[in-house]
Amino acid sequence: MPETFDGSVGWPALRQRFADRLPAQTLAGLDEAVAFAADRHGDQRRPAGEPYVEHLLEALQVLVDAVGDRDPDTLRAALLHDVVEDTGTTLDEVRQRFGPRVAELVGWVTRTPGTDRAAYLARLRQAPAEAIDVKLADRLSNVQRLRTHPRPEKRASYYGETVATVVPLAAGRPWFEEWYRHWQHDHADLAEDGS
């Protein structure tokens, strides 16, 4: 069973845990990104009912705890990766508040309205390495508890999409390769029986 990540512990607990690994300036930038994301996502919930912000914290946790990422822009982009796609926030607002590099990374992982899902995922193959890491952490959070998704048909389709389009992005990233390999094996029944 691959490692799972839990955003329900909340930002204060994660911040305390990261304090010995991340500089104070990076933590301050993450404070701002967490507050911004929490404000913009508001009362949004994930399909299984958990607060949306927990998903964002899980993506951050993957990058810091598992991958060892310390780049402040990548870490802030992980927290902000859905703010343009799922709220009324624009990429210009992200750029003004968090800078051009964070906005660029968020832009790469944002599926714009009218964009075909397959085209969006194919485009990611040209993304900078940091944006791919954000996407891999995002999808990891989404699929680590895929069996809790309330719609069985979504479990099967999301498994198939992940294997076909996201798992290949992990090539050359040892920790992600290993995690997704175990995950794919543990969830293979979703492809077989569609439940």
> Would you please indicate which residues are annotated as catalytic (active-site) residues?
85-86
Three-state SS string over 21-87 comes to CCCHHHHHHHHHHHHHHHHHHCCCECCCCCEHHHHHHHHHHHHHHHHCCCCHHHHHHHHHCCHHHHC
d(CA 131, CA 108) in angstroms, rounded, equals 6
Residue 111: what residue type?
R
Q: Do 130 and 65 contact (CB within 8 A), yes or no?
A: no
